[in-house]
Structure 1
Amino acid sequence: MSNSRTFKRAFKDLTDGLVDSELWLHLGWTDIKQRYKRSVLGPLWITLATGVTAVAMGLLYGQLFGMDLNFFLPYVTLGLIFWYFISNSILDGAVVFSTNEGLIKQLPAPISIHVYRVVWRQLIIFSHNVVIYLIIMVVFPQPIGWSALLVFPAIALFVLNSIWVTIVFGIMSTRFRDIGQLLTTMVQLVFFMTPIIWSAQSLQNASGDVSSRLRLVELNPMYHYLEITRGPLMGENVAAYHWWVVLACTALGWAAALMVMRNYRARVAYWV
């Protein structure tokens, strides 16, 4: 076995990158500023774009499904906010190494620096989008209790999942460039299969075999990720099995990430 292909080296890369937080914090914030360079509103475009989309979809699909807007608009808004975190982590993570070819080849740093950079960037975008939720909650208040605090461990799980997603898809997409295109198509498909602009309640109100439809929805892991974050903020009791599904996915994802880091971390610089 090559000395570079060990779990010890993989863990060292992850820990060294995490310790060098000044670099990836700077790079992540620079990414946001560069994206909105010479823009009047700057990063506020993130909030504005998400807010307009959430309100438009909430009003449209609320009317189509006959949903109460006092419930459905906050529901859609939260769904989009957390979905953007998930989808952007996947899509940005898939190109993280290929788009940073110069830095990877010229800067002698752990490759996990670029992973944490992507996750930090998603957290910045997420923090901008949270403003929309606060505004919506003022207009359409929900009966939130102490259970809303569960959103913090849920967000921590989102961050952990964002890291392994970026590692796995980033490294594999660098080796096989078609994976990035496949992920773009899959993310668009999963968006419509996940209760974001529609709800499980709309299935319960429909005629037919409701139980089989709900079971089909529960096969989608994204449904459980949204439930553990959106549920507490909507004042709903989140069933324990949603947490167990997310924890299981997190454990499996990190196992895959460690294997990928162990076997292919040293080859990234040659593949970009």
Structure 2
Amino acid sequence: MTFTDAAAQSRTMGRAWGDLVAGFGKRELWLHLGWQDIKQRYRRSVLGPFWITIATGATAVAMGLLYSKLFKLPLEEHLPYITLGLIVWNLINAAILEGADVFVANEGLIKQLPTPLSVHVYRLVWRQMILFAHNIIIYVIIAMIYPKPWTWTDLAVIPALVLLMLNCVWVALCFGILATRYRDISPLLVSLVQLLFFMTPIIWNEATLQQQGAGGYAKIIELNPLLHYLDIVRAPLLGADQELRHWVVVLVLTAIGWVFAAFAMRQYRARVPYWV
């Protein structure tokens, strides 16, 4: 069998899907590696990953106090809004930026340990889920200070988080493969994500646009896909009305994203060890 024939056989949808399934099946490996990442990063630290919680909480409180005054919004409404926005944003931000470096950062394991490529992506997403669980404590504290009425529909946050995790996986796969092949992609994404932070309703909302006489930009903001990801998680936790359009957009983007991820895995999965 020639090298060309071997390469052609490796570029099949069956092998790409097999990598994803086999990688998920190695749960003990990526669960352990993800947990070890957290322990290693905060080794000899007294508070460990709670330093991220403290930093996120301090940022949320400072921004909540500042922007509630600037926009003349009630603190009991704007502080939970900003807090949840930052917590969800940190997860999305990590999926994009750390996802772009997921294979480069694991060069040694990829070359030395014969394991499915998707293991490294599952490890990344699991690590971010742990950090998300730490950060959500901030919102729990704020929700106790400013309690909101809850309904059964607010449990929609559970499928919303599942959808968010599914999107984190395909985002890390696509950007990870792309940034491994073209190293300029990673710094480009850093600049793009910084811009998207200000274009996404995290520290402002539609009411603030109306106050500033910029209500006409609301339709343009709708083109930002991150708005919809934020809303399906944030709205249930705030006890706010949930809009079907956000769920439809996220479901459509999830399907499209996984099509791209499947194509990328089929075409380039076997080349990643040579690119890192």
Which interval holds the TM-score relative to the shorter structure? over 0.9
Q: Does 1:186 align with 2:192?
A: yes
1:195 pairs with 2:201: yes
Q: Percent identity?
A: 58
Q: For 1:232, which of 231, 236, 255 is the aligned residue?
A: 236
C-alpha offsets along residues 231-269 of structure 1, whole Å, 9 cap, x if unaligned? 111111111011000011111110100000000000000
CA distance in 2, matches of 1:207, 1:115: 43
Residue in structure 2 matched with residue 142 of structure 1 by the alignment: 148
Q: CA deviation at 1:62?
A: 1.1
2:38 matched residue in structure 1: 32
Please state whether the residue corresponding to 1:97 is helix, strand or coil.
helix
Measure, in 2, the Cα distance between the counterparts of 1:217 and 1:50.
25
Q: Report what 1:53 is aligned to.
A: 59
- TM-score of the aligned structures, taking structure 2 as reference length: 0.96
Q: Does 1:253 align with 2:250?
A: no
Aligned partners of 1:6 and 1:147: how far apart in 2? Answer: 42
Alignment of 1:82-93 (within 5 A): 82-93=88-99
1:145-188 residue CA offsets vs partner (Å, 9 max, x unmatched) = 21210000000000000000000000110000000001111111
Size of the alignment, in residue pairs?
270
The aligned residue for residue 18 of structure 2 is: 12
1:143 shift after superposition? 2.3
Question: Counterpart in 2 of 1:151?
Answer: 157
State the 4+ residue runs in structure 1 displaced beyond 4 angstroms. Answer: none
CA distance in 2, matches of 1:218, 1:144: 27
Which whole-Å deviations, capped at 9, do the CAs of 1:70-111 have from their partners, x for residues lacking one?
Answer: 100000000001010100111111101001111000000000
Q: CA deviation at 1:205?
A: 2.8
CA RMSD, 1 decimal: 0.9
Kindly state the Cα deviation for residue 206 of structure 1 after the two structures are TM-superposed.
3.1
Give the aligned partner of residue 137 of structure 2: 131
* Secondary structure of the structure 2 residue equivalent to 1:3: helix
CA distance in 1, matches of 2:192, 2:206: 21
Cα offset, 1:216, TM superposition: 1.0
Q: Report the Cα distance in structure 1 between the residues aligned to 2:231 and 2:210, rounded to whole angstroms.
A: 17
Q: d(CA) in 2 for partners of 1:46 and 1:33?
A: 13
Corresponding residue for residue 213 of structure 2: 207
For each residue in 1:33-84, what CA deviation from the matched residue of structure 2 results, as whole angstroms up to 9, or x when unmatched?
Answer: 1111111211111211111111111111111111100100000000001010
Structure 1 stretches of 5 or more lacking a match?
A: none
TM-score (norm 1): 0.97
Q: Who is 1:175 aligned against?
A: 181
Q: Does the alignment pair 1:70 with 2:76? A: yes
Give 1:221's match in structure 2, choosing from 215, 219, 225: 225
The equivalent of 1:103 in structure 2 is 109
1:19 and 1:71 map into 2 onto residues whose CA distance is 43
